[in-house]
Structure 1
């Protein structure tokens, strides 16, 4: 599985976050961070940790309704610094790493702010040494709207194999299977590394990752050429 990707990477880490909202700069934080690492020999390592609230006194009711995570759950969680440290150690453990997430810009941005908040340059260097793959961008090139992870689960006939519970660890397991289906469907995932599409209606995120190329990608991108071919031709 993922043989072409493992020609370049020692490990692939599928990860997901649950958060209190959309604004990591000031108001919101990660409340659950999960990751599953797979190396080129098929060995797996998992982490799934809750993070105590420190930016808000209580978890918004809509987040509890969506994820099932409660204030009581988070009261037994760990400090952000310890959880981010565990995640960075997973990255550092096995050499060159590809980080994969669905709508990766969102999750990566929250991780970046958490690292900055803990003022650790070594962690940031380890994180910056990774490459990134956004399955949301790939999926927009292959299927019509909607493009959420749960839509991919349905389209790739994975309903009886995985679940989309809006819990980070479940989404990681689902993401592995969705990515596997994408890889078997067309072996071009390596062309999407460090390439993120954005909705032309809203433009790219202001907080850009240094090594990522951001390209306008319409909601009906599946009708045209793959995004990486657009870059190649400079269109």
Structure 2
């Protein structure tokens, strides 16, 4: 599969058109649905104060971003990291609106809507009528939230990368039978999904018991024995 970028943002509010700004962006690079280890993270000076309600969500204060670069000063690094990869986000319209507003504000080309993959829409298609927030999906897929005391762009991007893996098939991908990977044998497929087959127990029937059982079949059932029909009466 192609290289993809999982992205999350933190902001001063809900709508850049009403004066809200981006204050943090975090990205995780994935390849074939697995993190490569490459990340991008930056705090951004929003050139305005951060409301108390927003601080309660992500814990980012005015002091924390006072010395951070403005978006126009770091957007080149962000765009180089994303390059031409699809961008994955949860409730993607929110992150796309802020990223594109900031790009347009500094004269850069926006990331077209067609490049974005919305994991919220993927989750709603798979779990209609259920809670599909990032927290809810992590709990549903048993993804640990231990490090997430507050929202954070890079932490949330890491969690979202794990959620995206599960939404796209999760650990079942080990059964990929593409020519590039080579076909799996029946034994390998069994081991990949259920673990190695345990060694069977040795028979506990004594020779005397086996002879008595055979005598019973011959005397009582004769040709009506299920085992006799398969030539196994003496087994």
TM range (shorter): 0.5 to 0.7
Say whether 1:35 aligns with 2:19: no
C-alpha distance 32-160 of structure 1, shift in aligned 2 (>3 A): closer
CA offsets per residue over residues 28-61 of structure 1, 9 Å max, x none? 010001111124596332111111121x3x2101
Asked whether the 8 Å contact 2:7–2:87 carries over to 1, the reply is yes
Select 1:177's aligned residue among 148, 158, 162. 162
- Radius of gyration: which is bigger? 2
Which residue does 2:38 correspond to in 1?
Answer: 45
CA offsets per residue over residues 175-228 of structure 1, 9 Å max, x none? 0100111112588xxxxxxxxxxxxxxxxxxxxxxxxxxxxxxxxxxxxxxxxx
Asked whether the 8 Å contact 2:7–2:26 carries over to 1, the reply is yes
Distance across 2 between alignment mates of 1:159 and 1:107? 23
Alignment length (residue pairs): 170
Q: SS of 2:25's equivalent?
A: strand
Select 2:130's aligned residue among 136, 142, 145. 145
Which residue does 1:98 correspond to in 2?
Answer: 86
TM-score by length of 1: 0.66
Deviation of residue 130 (structure 1)? 6.6
Structure 1, unmatched stretches of 5+, are 1-5, 188-235
Which residue does 1:13 correspond to in 2?
Answer: 5
C-alpha distance 174-21 of structure 1, shift in aligned 2 (>3 A): same
C-alpha distance 180-161 of structure 1, shift in aligned 2 (>3 A): farther
C-alpha distance 137-26 of structure 1, shift in aligned 2 (>3 A): same
Which residue does 1:88 correspond to in 2?
Answer: 79
Q: SS of 2:29's equivalent?
A: strand
Q: SS of 2:14's equivalent?
A: coil
RMSD of equivalent CA atoms: 2.3
C-alpha distance 42-174 of structure 1, shift in aligned 2 (>3 A): closer
TM-score by length of 2: 0.66
Select 2:70's aligned residue among 68, 79, 82. 79
C-alpha distance 90-103 of structure 1, shift in aligned 2 (>3 A): same
Distance across 1 between alignment mates of 2:115 and 2:42? 23
Deviation of residue 142 (structure 1)? 1.8
Deviation of residue 161 (structure 1)? 7.2
Q: Which deviates the most, 80-89 or 61-70? A: 80-89
Name the structure where helix makes up a greater proportion of residues. Answer: 2
Q: SS of 2:16's equivalent?
A: coil
Which residue does 1:199 correspond to in 2?
Answer: none
Deviation of residue 160 (structure 1)? 5.7
C-alpha distance 146-160 of structure 1, shift in aligned 2 (>3 A): closer
